[in-house]
Amino acid sequence: MNRFLRGDTDRLSRDIEQERSLRIAAEREVARLTAGLDAVPTGIVLADGTGRIVLRNRAAAVGGHSDVLIDEAVQRLLSAAAVGKAGEQRLELFGPPPRVLLIHCIPLANSGALAIIDDLSERVRLDAVRTDFVANISHELKTPVGALAVLAEALTDSDDADVNRSLASRMVEEAHRASSTIDDLLELSRIELGGRGEPEDVSLAAVLGEVAARHRFTAETAGVGLEFGSTDRQTLVGDRLQLVSAVSNLVDNAIKYTNPGGTVRVRCTTNDKWVEIEVCDDGVGIPARDLDRVFERFYRVDRARSRATGGTGLGLAIVRHVATNHGGEVAVRSREGEGSTFTLRIPVQEVA
């Protein structure tokens, strides 16, 4: 009798141990599946046959006000999918930050439903940049390309050598204008599309040295002095090419709007929060009514002077994007007839 009882007890112990092992194995599989789902950047939500949510990964977690709006849409679509009606909805959330989401819900074979939340924000942003680029380049190239066509027709019909030389010179100017516009548009689009590159320690002296090398000849040709102050071996954290581009555009802009005999000065200062690069000129200055708009793409304070200097109206827009990409800012102080000071501020930080 005791032998039989002992046998039953042993079997029961083995069954309990086996059940425990199976439960542990199942819990491990669930944990592994959950970890895998949490690693997926796309939001995933699973519902049972009644439409009740039973699982969601980290990307589909509900938090702020915008997430509540998303959850309402997900719940509505899941309830429909649970009874066999697949559906999708595009949500545009104004943020901040602005987001564009596509929610797609499908019924599952053994009852229940699955929702996939795809974040389209970056794709929408890139598409907007590309569309904007095509529209901008089409608009801005109309003038020089049209001028080239008119000048070429005039050149074809002229037999006067002096007139031909003048027309050819104008054609060269318009060709350079078109090339400059294309270069600036490509640079602006690269900065907009690429955002901030991999952060690295960048020598401020090296940045200013490269800018000086680019503009020494231009300044000398325009009869404008170009002075660079000490950098005290200061370093920045950021994208070197973008920083060079920003400072270069500020210096180029200052040279173009400074009369012969004037001087462009580049000074650097540092405090606990910012590395500040100031580009000062004693040129024509900016009217007060234009100060709030000078960083808009294609905005020109003096269109007649811009045509004379070859300005595209993109340089300061590039500077603003570089500042934004680095978590910084750009500001301007100016009085008409007394010159301008542009200040590029980049936050002081360490490479992560």
Of 67, 66, 61, 65, nearest to 41 (Cα)?
61
Same domain, 347 and 202: yes
| Rounded average pLDDT over 55-62 | 79
- The pTM (predicted TM-score) of the whole model is 0.55
Rank 60-74, 161-175, 290-304 by mean pLDDT and report only the highest. Answer: 161-175
Same domain, 103 and 150: no
Residue 224 neighbours by CB distance under 10 Å? 23
pLDDT digits (tens, 9 = 90+) for 78-112: 888 888 888 888 988 877 778 888 999 989 887 88
Q: What is the CATH number of the domain that holds 110?
A: 3.30.450
Same domain, 241 and 221: yes
User: Are 239 and 193 contacting, i.e. CB atoms less than 8 angstroms apart?
Assistant: no
Same domain, 143 and 126: yes
Same domain, 142 and 202: no
Residue 324's domain comprises 197-352
Same domain, 79 and 125: no
Same domain, 204 and 339: yes
What was the pLDDT predicted at 337? Answer: 83
Same domain, 84 and 168: no
Q: What is the CATH number of the domain that holds 172?
A: 1.10.287.130
What was the pLDDT predicted at 304? Answer: 42
Same domain, 190 and 201: no
Same domain, 280 and 311: yes
Same domain, 256 and 346: yes
Q: Which residues pair with 277 in a beta bridge?
A: 268, 344
Q: How many domains does the chain have?
A: 3
